[in-house]
Structure 1
Amino acid sequence: MSWLFPNIHTLKEPLSDRLANKAQAPYFRDALSVRTEKTMLTPSQLQHSIFVYMPAWVTVLMRIRNKIVKLFGFTVGADNLRPTRDELNIGDKAGFLTITEKYEDEIISYSEDRHMSFYLSVLKQSDRVIISSLVNQKTFIGRLYVNSILPFHYIIARTVINNAMKDNRI
């Protein structure tokens, strides 16, 4: 499906971001790299520019997902918890995630429930942005969940990043 998203490059597990040392088996890891025209944006502003604008169909899918997974003990966030500013600080909420680490070149967000812990990294390297996720799966249900949503994750992550590029937000 790379023909759908030719400007988004899938990377092997990145070792240069700060998520590498947070992985605990079993885990899922992926990373996508894109070129940014807006090199003056901070990692926080890049994260905001990419993820605060969700297509309506993604919002609908997330509402359905939240209703289903809540039955299995997953933590679900508010549907429209949008940050009020684009420069986030440690402790701020960004959707269902909380900002836990912030550096000049990277911002890391985190969420956890009894089945898994989820990390998102937005790493800025010159004119490239690397968006990386890590999911430590704590339980069998966590593993089952991650494996069942991978096709959706693949399409949604690339669509959201592609839209940010197309709309000239990054």
Structure 2
Amino acid sequence: MPLLFSTIKALPTPLDDHLAKNALQPYFRDALAAPVSQLQLTPSQLQYAIFNYLPNWVNKLMWLRNKLVKIAGFNVTESNMVPPSDDLQVGDQAGFLTVIKKLDDEIISYADDKHMTFYLSVKKCENTVVVSSLVNQKTRIGQIYVNCILPFHYFIARIVINNAIKANRI
């Protein structure tokens, strides 16, 4: 029986990339690699193709999450804020994230509030995309939150990447 996400590989924590220099203790960091068959796609287009097609059940979980964490002082978005284009530029909103750096091979976005700062990197490496996240936990509430959502993060990140592969969007 094949593994559920056999084409998606967890990578060792990158220590020398653009996100690494933003890491502040305590933090959570992960990186996933997946094959890309649409080799003409830019990192911006890859980010769009992966994260702008969330399953309805994920959107419902995010709605519930927003209702719960707003009470604890987390910043939440009231709408999906789908970008009007897959050509994201610095300053553009992509979901709850803001694009802060755009390079030829990588796009980096982030969100910040009093409990944590979240970074997302989508990097194209030949025929592979590496999706990496970094969460700096600023408060005890931020640490508790990250520990509570890690099982969801693990599964949802792989689901959305896998869905993009199956739909031939990446």
TM-score higher than 0.5 here?
yes
The letter for the 1-side match of 2:92 is D
- SS of residue in 2 equivalent to 1:82: coil
Q: Deviations over 1:7-36 (max 9, x none)?
A: 000001023531011100000000000110
Are the aligned partners of 1:52 and 1:82 in contact in 2 as well (CA < 8 Å)?
yes
TM-score (norm 1): 0.97
Are the aligned partners of 2:80 and 2:96 in contact in 1 as well (CA < 8 Å)?
no
Moved over 4 A (4+): none
RMSD: 1.0
- SS of residue in 2 equivalent to 1:99: strand
Partner residue in 2 for 1:93 = 93
Separation (CA, whole Å) in 2 of partners of 1:79 and 1:60: 12
- 1:14-29 paired onto structure 2 within 5 Å: 14-29=14-29
- SS of residue in 2 equivalent to 1:108: strand
The letter for the 1-side match of 2:125 is Q
TM-score (norm 2): 0.97
- In the comparison of the two structures, how many residue pairs are matched? 169
Q: CA deviation at 1:100?
A: 0.2
Percent of aligned pairs with the same amino acid: 59
The letter for the 2-side match of 1:58 is V
- SS of residue in 2 equivalent to 1:165: helix
Partner residue in 2 for 1:55 = 55
Separation (CA, whole Å) in 1 of partners of 2:159 and 2:89: 26
Q: Name structure 2 gaps, 5 residues minimum.
A: none
- SS of residue in 1 equivalent to 2:110: strand
Q: Name structure 1 gaps, 5 residues minimum.
A: none
